[in-house]
Amino acid sequence: MTAIPSQTFVAEETSIASWVFTLDHKRVGVLYLFTLLALLALGGAFAMAIRLEHLGPGETLMSPMTYNRLFTLHGVTMVWLFLIPSIPSAFGNFLLPIMVGAKDVAFPRLNLASYWVFAAGSVVVLVSMFAGGIDTGWTFYVPYAASSPTAVPLALIGIFVVGVSTIMTGINFIVTVHSLRAPGLGWMKLPLFVWAIYATSVIQVLATPVLGMVLVLVGLDHALAFGLFDPAHGGDPLLYQHLFWFYSHPAVYIMVLPAMGVVSEVIPTFARKNPYSYGAIVYSSLGIAFVGFLTWGHHMFVAGLSRFDAGAFGLLSMLVAVFSAIKVFNWVFTLKRGAIALGTPLLHVFAFLVLFFFGGMTGVAVAATSLDVHWHDTAFVVAHFHFVMVGGTLTAFLAALHYWFPKMTGRLYPERPGAIAAVLVFAGFLLTFVPQFLLGNAGMPRRYATYDPAFQGLQRISTVGSWVLGAGMLLIAAYLAWSLFRGARAGDNPWRSRSFEWRTPSPPPKENFVRPPRFDVGAYDYTRPLEGEDE
Ligand code: HEM
Ligand SMILES: [Cu+2]
């Protein structure tokens, strides 16, 4: 398809200003990607320090006060600054317009603004870390968050600003999918990644304002002693929990739906097959986005919900798992009898399938009220949500990073270190978090700096696991940085994928297409050859 030589979006202009003020969605995506990778590295460094502290039962490296700050900074960085924006902002920005056959997003200026608003919000959060840190946990539970002597207001402002950026991105993607689809590209022909980002955007736009509001209220409680959530002033801390989880449960689907979108792209490409049921994947994404709004109470089973409410929230939570299971079956059936080509993206997808499956199953387990009373606020819950957030979102992010690396850079990464790193990340993850299920079940509370010496064996395994995981991540950083400059040329479509984004040069030219795209061969149609390709 490279018949007509074209300038890539990178080579087209090289000044710093051309990046700072860029209106090209691909450049905005690249800016996001580098920023997010830096934040991931920071959050990862905090995580390593947390695990180091748990090498021994008593005070190992730091005081319990420092430990409180550390796990808060880790959670805040990972959840608010990395996981929530990650796949949509970096890969969604780069790919969504190409996948719908558009030249750009609907509002390129808003898109650029969303990046700089995000960057500003992140800087404010980072400044709060230097201004003494925060020790409330990423959840900012009141009444403590309203009185903690740490830099809570600054962190709240930063997260609020990041939320504004999330809404901007969500609106942009929704309008883009509605109004900029190329002629002939009907809704039910859209790539599944687009559907996933679309469903995510709906949650972002509807739920994030609630988060913004509740953060402002905590800030007012903290700064001006409003007492809204403080029983000493007639306020209600449970009101906070309702409002917070009304956003933050849907937010877990903001994290995992885009990951599911990545998996739905990688599997057909590497199995060279149509998805087993396109419709089931689309409708289950929409189903998750909808039901995700009805389950927040499962975070409050031990906070005095009525028995009826607890039962209802428990059942609705399990319904989300049904939609997730529909997807898992679909992916597995797509792989079945496929002409599978093993590549690093697919290895990360396999890790996703295994870890997300266990994450989801333990979610169903904690959604059973009686079991949750035992596991709530223990390392068991920590393990559950790391299985879904790291095992789900991070592995899919790594799959996306490798899968679309040739698209974005025009270069290949080396497969052998890629495979070694994928195994290290997977094994390191299991070593880190399987022990935490066992620890939590045995009674290890979450967020404690010290622990009973009886737990030391499992704690040590977990810490060693974090080193293996960290080594895998460093290896990935090293070979990708090398490949960026030295990697072999990829050609336009190294995976011989049918998906729309691969039908334009890699890296794409400024307005994405050399010729207006045609969509008569579907995004997953492996039965017909593409024009210009003999098969
Ligand atoms: C498959 C369906 C899922 C179900 C049924 C489920 C259920 C639950 C339940 C009941 C809790 C509360 C446990 C407790 O605090 O005692 C919980 C906590 C949590 N879940 Fe899930 N979950 C699911 C999927 C996910 C996904 C996909 C993510 C993220 C990508 C996620 C992230 C979290 C987080 C972050 C927490 C803990 C928040 C905190 O207290 O710090 N869950 N989950
Ligand atoms: Cu939840």
**pLDDT surpasses 60 at 114:** yes
Token pair for 497:
């994928």
Q: Could you read off the pLDDT of 301-312 as tens digits, one per residue? A: 999 889 999 999
Q: Could you read off the pLDDT of 13-64 as tens digits, one per residue? A: 999 999 999 999 999 999 999 999 999 999 999 999 999 999 999 999 999 9
Q: Ligand 2 center to residue 306 CA distance, Å?
A: 18
**pLDDT surpasses 90 at 271:** yes
Question: For the residues 486-509, what does the mean pLDDT come to?
Answer: 94
Q: Could you read off the pLDDT of 341-355 as tens digits, one per residue? A: 899 999 999 999 999
Q: Which residue has the least CA distance to atom 3 on ligand 1?
A: 363
In short, whether 261's Cβ falls inside 6 Å of ligand 1 is no
In short, whether 326's Cβ falls inside 6 Å of ligand 1 is no
Question: Percentage of the chain with pLDDT > 90?
Answer: 90
Q: Ligand 2 center to residue 144 CA distance, Å?
A: 21
φ and ψ at residue 493, rounded to 5 degrees? -140, 70
In short, whether 74's Cβ falls inside 6 Å of ligand 1 is no
What's the confidence (pLDDT) of residue 516?
80
Token pair for 503:
């039908």
For residues 378 and 302, the answer to whether their CB atoms sit within 8 Å is no
Ligand 1 pocket test, candidate residues 83, 139, 375, 384, most atoms within 8 A of CB: 384
Closest by CA to 133, choosing from 60, 77, 214, 49, is 77
Question: For the residues 275-285, what does the mean pLDDT come to?
Answer: 95
Task: Tell me the pLDDT band of 528, cut-offs 50, 70 and 90.
Answer: confident
Task: Tell me the pLDDT band of 390, cut-offs 50, 70 and 90.
Answer: very high
Window from 95-99, 172-176, 521-525 with minimum mean pLDDT:
521-525
Average pLDDT, the chain: 94
**pLDDT surpasses 70 at 532:** no
Question: Percentage of the chain with pLDDT > 70?
Answer: 98
Q: Could you read off the pLDDT of 143-175 as tens digits, one per residue? A: 999 999 999 999 999 999 999 999 999 999 999
Q: Ligand 1 center to residue 144 CA distance, Å?
A: 22
What's the confidence (pLDDT) of residue 404?
98
Closest by CA to 239, choosing from 369, 307, 375, 143, is 143
What's the confidence (pLDDT) of residue 533?
60
The atom number, within ligand 1, closest to the CA of 79 reads 35
What's the confidence (pLDDT) of residue 535?
45
What's the confidence (pLDDT) of residue 7?
86
Q: Which ligand has the shortest distance to the CA of 300? A: 1
Task: Tell me the pLDDT band of 3, cut-offs 50, 70 and 90.
Answer: very low
The atom number, within ligand 1, closest to the CA of 139 reads 41
In short, whether 388's Cβ falls inside 6 Å of ligand 1 is yes
For residues 425 and 351, the answer to whether their CB atoms sit within 8 Å is yes
Give the bridge partners for 378, in sequence order: 445
Whole-structure pTM value: 0.95
Task: Tell me the pLDDT band of 529, cut-offs 50, 70 and 90.
Answer: confident
What's the confidence (pLDDT) of residue 338?
86
Task: Tell me the pLDDT band of 531, cut-offs 50, 70 and 90.
Answer: low
Q: Amino acid identity, residue 261?
A: G
In short, whether 75's Cβ falls inside 6 Å of ligand 1 is no
Question: For the residues 99-116, what does the mean pLDDT come to?
Answer: 97
The atom number, within ligand 1, closest to the CA of 366 reads 10
The beta strand positions in 96-143, using DSSP E, are: none
In short, whether 360's Cβ falls inside 6 Å of ligand 1 is yes
